[in-house]
Amino acid sequence: MSETRRKLTTIFCADVQDYTRLMGADEEGTLASLKRCREAMGRLIESHGGRVINTWGDGLIADFPSVVEAVRAAVDTQNELAGFNARRPADGRMLFRIGINLGDVIVEGDDIYGDGVNIAARLQASAAAGGIVISSTVYDQVRNKVAVGFEFLGPLMVKNVDEGVPSYAVKIGDARDATPPVERSGPAPPQLQPQPAAVMAAAISEARPAPRGRRLYGVLAVIAAVLIGINLLSWQGVFWARFPVLALAVLAALAWNRDQTLFNRKITSLAIVALGIAGINLFTWTGQFWAMWPMLGIAAAMGLRWSMRR
Residue type, 68: V
Q: Is the pLDDT of residue 106 over 70?
A: yes
Is the pTM higher than 0.75? The answer reads no
Cβ 133 vs Cβ 71: under 8 Å: no
The pLDDT confidence band at residue 310, using thresholds 50, 70 and 90, is very low
Taking Cα atoms as reference points, which of 101, 57, 52 lies closest to residue 77? 52
* Count of positions (residues) in the chain: 310
Of 153-157, 188-192, 243-247, 287-291, the least confident: 188-192
Angle at 302 between CA 46 and CA 147, to 5 degrees: 55
Q: How confident is the model at residue 308 (pLDDT cuts 50, 70, 90)?
A: low
User: If 0-12 CB within 10 Å is exposed, 13-18 middle and 19+ buried, where does residue 181 land?
Assistant: exposed
| CA dist., res. 176 & res. 198, Å (int) | 11
The predicted pLDDT at position 25 comes to 87
Q: Within 13 Å, how many C-alpha atoms sit on residue 281's CB side?
A: 15
The answer to which of 25-29, 114-118, 135-139, 199-203 has the lowest mean pLDDT is: 199-203
More confident residue, 155 or 182: 155
Residue 65 has pLDDT above 50, yes or no: yes
Please determine, for residue 192, whether its predicted confidence score (pLDDT) is greater than 50.
no
The Cα angle at residue 41 between residues 34 and 89, in degrees rounded to 5: 45
The pLDDT value given to residue 259: 63
Which sign does the torsion angle of CA 302, 45, 66, 136 carry? positive
Pairing of strands 149-156, 111-113: unpaired
283 or 268, greater pLDDT: 283
Q: At what angle do helices 265-283 and 292-307 cross, to 10 degrees?
A: 170
Residue 203 banded pLDDT, cuts 50, 70, 90: very low
CA distance 143 to 136: 10
pLDDT exceeds cutoff 70 at 196:
no
pLDDT, position 275? 92
pLDDT at position 175: 42
Query: How far are the Cα atoms of 2, 220, 249 from residue 253, in angstroms, in the given order?
Result: 50, 11, 6
